[in-house]
């Protein structure tokens, strides 16, 4: 027993000795960020987006942030400048003005905006215009189509960028605070999931069934944000034309849903949808005078 005790003592002491031989950690981090020369757009994004709203804009292509299923091109510097300025003018400031502070955007707007130069083309020539991931990131495609001419074309801007942006932002808002279940009962039996693409040949066909667009018929959440995004980006005449194109019955259904959307925004977010629309329309009308390229 004596010998066994001695062995135990020796073992313990050797273990202790070994554990004491640990090297000291090097205080310098091995992860060194490369300092890259900054340009005017970097400073503008810092000042207008990151400092005030904690939003980052990835205008330089980052593969791991992109959709690896598609063959994509980076956005050009010029189109990135235009989009960054337009997004602030047409997408951020109207909410600030209507809500009276920067807090709303700060709290709910996605924290990463990812710019891609090309569309995300499928092999049949169709393409994706925008995606949102978990309320955190919005990816906007087709940036390289944005130039001096298209930058002032309201229909183009809405179709390719701002409708998508408001649509995705709408998702974040209703995922944060839900809308009344009565919304999905209005056209409850007519939601068709992925068949929306084959079912309707035109917007008018969808309007006849009580949907503001064919995509709105896929499911209630999409219907809710499509109704929202179209309403705040179209003029009253354009809105009326869109919802009337399928006849009186469809129009009445869309208007019933719009009432719920309007009430939801007023009661839940204290946003008057008509005031927000007027603000956006006024800014759209002023586009010919808006400087899209200077970064002061």
Partner 1 sequence: MKLKYLVILILLPFLLVTSCKRDDDRIFDTNATVRMTEAVQQAYSVLQANKAGWIMKFYPSNNQEFGGYTIFSKFISNAEVTLASDPFTGSETSSYSISPESGPVLTFNGYNKHIHWFSEPGMDNGGIGADDSGMRGDFEFIVLKATADSVVLKGKKSGSHLVMLPLKEGEFERLSTTYQEAADKFKQFMVYKLETSGNKTVRLGYDAKFRVFHNPTDELAVGMAFRVVPKGLEFYQKYTLAGTSFDFLNYVEPTSGYPNGYYTDEGKTFKIIPSTPLNFWFKNNLWSMSFNNTGAFGKLYWTVGKGMLAKNNIIVNNAYIGGTSGVYGLIFNLQNGAVFGGVSHFIEPVEDTEDEVYIELEGYVLGNFPLAYWSGGINYLSAPFDQTTFKITSADGSLTPTVITLTDVTSPTNSFKLFLKDIDDPLNN
* Closest CB 117 distance from partner 1, rounded Å: 5
Stretch that binds partner 1, among 7-15, 212-220, 236-244, 262-270 (CB under 8 A): 7-15
| Tokens matching residue 102 | 């920067």
Q: Crossing angle, helix 248-269 and helix 220-233, to 10 degrees?
A: 90
- Strands 137-140, 112-115: pairing is parallel
Distance CA 234, CA 283 (A): 12
- Minimum Å gap between C-beta 59 and partner 1 is 8
For partner 1, give the closer residue by CB, 23 or 198: 23
- The least CB distance from residue 31 to partner 1, in Å, is 7
- Count the site residues for partner 1 by CB under 8 A: 43
Footprint of partner 1 on 139-158 (CB under 8 A)? 144
Binding residues among 37-96 for partner 1 as defined by CB under 8 A: 37-39, 59-63, 70-71, 73-77, 79-80
Which listed range, 11-19, 90-98, 267-275, 284-292, lies at the site for partner 1 (CB under 8 A)?
11-19
Query: CA–CA separation, 262 vs 255, rounded Å?
Result: 10
Tokens of 12: 């313990």
40, 97, 103, 127: which one binds partner 1 (CB under 8 A) = 127
Distances (CA, A) of 2 to 8, 10, 217: 10, 12, 85
Closest C-alpha among 176, 162, 170 to residue 220: 170
Q: How far is the CB of 246 from partner 1 (least distance, A)?
A: 21
122 touching partner 1, by CB under 8 A: yes
- In degrees and rounded to multiples of 5, residue 288 shows phi and psi of -55, -25
Q: Which is nearer to partner 1, 26 or 294 (CB)?
A: 26
Nearest alpha carbon to residue 177 among 130, 107, 91: 107
CA 294 to chain centre: 24
| Among positions 1, 5, 16, 17, the unique one binding partner 1 when judged by CB under 8 A | 17
In contact, 131 and 139? CB cutoff 8 Å: yes
Task: Tell me the window of 43-51, 103-111, 117-125, 275-283 that interacts with partner 1 (CB under 8 A).
Answer: 117-125
Question: What whole-number distance in Å separates Cα of residue 286 and Cα of residue 283?
Answer: 5
- The residues binding partner 1 (CB under 8 A) are 3, 6-7, 10-11, 13-15, 17-18, 30-32, 34-39, 59-63, 70-71, 73-77, 79-80, 117-119, 121-125, 127, 144
């Amino acid at each position: 027993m004596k010998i066994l005790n001695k062995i135990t003592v020796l073992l313990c002491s050797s273990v202790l000795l070994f554990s004491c031989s640990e090297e000291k950690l090097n205080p310098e981090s091995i992860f060194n960020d490369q300092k890259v020369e900054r340009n005017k757009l970097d400073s503008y994004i810092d000042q207008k987006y990151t400092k005030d709203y904690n939003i980052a804009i990835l205008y330089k292509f980052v593969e791991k942030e992109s959709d690896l299923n598609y063959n994509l091109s980076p956005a050009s510097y010029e189109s990135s400048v235009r989009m960054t300025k337009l997004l602030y003018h047409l997408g951020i400031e109207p909410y600030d003005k209507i809500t009276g502070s920067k807090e709303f955007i700060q709290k709910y707007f996605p924290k990463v905006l990812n710019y891609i130069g090309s569309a995300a083309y499928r092999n049949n020539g169709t393409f994706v215009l925008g995606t949102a991931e978990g309320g955190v990131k919005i990816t906007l495609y087709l940036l390289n189509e944005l130039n001096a001419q298209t930058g002032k074309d309201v229909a183009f801007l809405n179709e390719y960028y701002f409708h998508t942006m408001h649509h995705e932002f709408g998702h974040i808002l209703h995922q944060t605070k839900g809308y009344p279940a009565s919304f999905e009962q209005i056209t409850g039996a007519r939601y068709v999931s992925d068949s929306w693409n084959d079912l309707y040949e035109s917007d008018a066909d969808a309007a006849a069934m009580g949907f503001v667009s064919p995509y709105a018929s896929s499911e209630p959440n999409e219907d809710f944000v499509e109704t929202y995004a179209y309403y705040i980006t179209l003029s009253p005449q354009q809105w009326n034309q869109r919802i009337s194109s399928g006849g009186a019955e469809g129009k009445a259904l869309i208007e019933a849903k719009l009432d719920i959307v309007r009430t939801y925004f007023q009661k839940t977010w204290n946003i008057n949808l008509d005031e927000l629309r007027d603000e956006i329309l006024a800014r759209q009308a002023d586009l010919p005078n808006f400087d899209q390229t200077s970064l002061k």
